[in-house]
């Protein structure tokens, strides 16, 4: 039997994914070692490999078949636009993609003024403003801590993920518009789904059962 390889977005999502897999008896002891600098982990008995990568790289590994399966946020899937199958909503990591900013930006946003929009997700921001709202904006790509942008005057608003809303609140910002709902998704390489149909379909069925029970 060949190995099935999983690419997991490192951090909270990977931890939640492994907790979910444990409910199915899929464990990976060496992954629990907090000191380890290893990037790839193996379960020899089940012939599984897991590796942790930056979230935005997960769809790339899956599209090229370096991983058969990936677990990553819907935000990353939308932004990367890769050729992969999205097979399951895992139910956790629920949050929203929103346009946020100070209250003072609300009017400019509504009146369709030419505003600047900072985001880690320029593709999602562009699709929202150009294809859904038919509004011309200037999009500025950032790599993190996007909430800074309207505070220091880089942009009027941001397009970013809101989970609890505490980052916005702590920085005097608010949700001005909702773009879409998001959650963690399982994605599969298109060839792997055909070649390993039985194993992958069983995994999807088992995951569906436990995620529905939770
Ligand atoms: C995400 C997001 C927000 C925050 C939202 O950032 O970009 O900043 O979480 O969560 P909240 O609504 O619960 O406060 P992340 O932690 O991924 O860090 P980054 O922006 O530096 O990438």
Per-residue pLDDT reduced to its tens digit, 6-44: 999 999 999 999 999 999 999 888 888 888 888 899 999
**How would you write 179-197 as a 3-class SS string?**
EEEECEEEEECHHHHHHCH
Range of the domain at 189: 4-93+183-213
Let me know whether 24 and 75 are in one domain: yes
Residues 156 and 188 in one domain: no
Segment 66-75, tens digit of pLDDT: 999 999 999 9
Of 96, 163, 165, the one to substitute when testing ligand 1's pocket (max ligand atoms within 8 A of C-beta) is 163
Q: What is the pLDDT of residue 34?
A: 81
Q: Is the per-residue pLDDT at 1 higher than 90?
A: no
pLDDT one-digit tens code per residue, 172-202: 999 999 999 999 999 999 999 999 999 999 9
d(CA 31, CA 44): 13
The answer, yes or no, to whether residue 167 has pLDDT greater than 80, is yes
Beta bridge partners of 33: none
Q: Do both 26 and 40 map to the same domain? A: yes
Burial of 44 from C-beta contacts in 10 A (0-12 / 13-18 / 19+): exposed
pLDDT the model gives residue 40: 93
Query: If 0-12 CB within 10 Å is exposed, 13-18 middle and 19+ buried, where does residue 121 land?
Result: buried
- CATH code at 65? 3.40.190.10
Chain centroid to CA 67: 16
Do residues 150 and 50 share a domain? no
- What is the pLDDT of the chain when averaged over all its residues? 95
Helix, strand, coil shares, percent, the chain, to 5: 40, 30, 35
Q: How far is the CA of 29 from the centre of ligand 1 (A)?
A: 29
Distance from Cα 52 to the centre of ligand 1, integer Å: 19
User: Would the CB of 166 count as within 6 Å of ligand 1?
Assistant: yes
Query: How far is it, in rounded angstroms, from Cα 11 to Cα 195?
Result: 30
Q: Are residue 83 and residue 12 in the same domain, yes or no?
A: yes
State in Å: Cα 145 to ligand 1 middle: 7
Q: Is the CB of 144 under 6 A from ligand 1?
A: yes
Q: Which atom of ligand 1 is nearest to the CA of 160?
A: 7
Say if ligand 1 is within 6 A of residue 161 CB. Answer: yes
Give dist(CA 21, CA 210) in Å, integer: 9
Partnered with residue 158 across adjacent β-strands are 100, 118
Mark whether 101 and 136 lie in a shared domain.
yes
Q: Are residues 201 and 150 in the same domain?
A: no
Domain count for the chain, please give it.
Answer: 2
Same domain? For 174 and 188 the reply is no
pTM for this model (two decimals): 0.93
| Residue 184, strand partner residues | 73
20 and 72 in a single domain? The answer is yes
């Amino acid at each position: 039997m060949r190995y099935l390889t999983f690419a997991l977005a490192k951090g909270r999502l990977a931890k939640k994914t492994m907790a979910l897999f444990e409910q199915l008896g899929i464990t990976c002891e060496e992954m629990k070692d907090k000191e380890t600098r290893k990037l790839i982990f193996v379960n020899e008995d089940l012939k599984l490999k897991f590796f942790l990568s930056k979230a935005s790289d997960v769809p790339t590994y899956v599209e090229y078949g370096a991983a058969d399966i990936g677990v990553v946020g819907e935000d990353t899937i939308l932004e990367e636009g890769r050729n992969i199958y999205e097979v399951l909503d895992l139910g956790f990591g629920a949050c929203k993609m929103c346009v946020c900013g100070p209250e003072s930006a609300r009017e400019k946003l509504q009146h369709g003024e030419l505003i600047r929009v900072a985001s880690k997700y320029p593709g999602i921001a562009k699709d929202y403003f150009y294809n859904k709202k038919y509004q011309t904006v200037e999009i500025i790509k950032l790599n993190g801590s996007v909430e800074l942008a309207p505070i220091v005057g880089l942009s009027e608003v941001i397009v970013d993920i809101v989970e609890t809303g505490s980052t916005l609140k702590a920085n005097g910002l608010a949700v001005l518009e909702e773009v879409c709902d998001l959650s963690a998704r399982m994605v599969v390489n298109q060839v792997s789904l055909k070649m390993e149909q039985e194993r992958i379909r069983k995994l999807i069925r088992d995951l569906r059962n436990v995620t529905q029970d939770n």
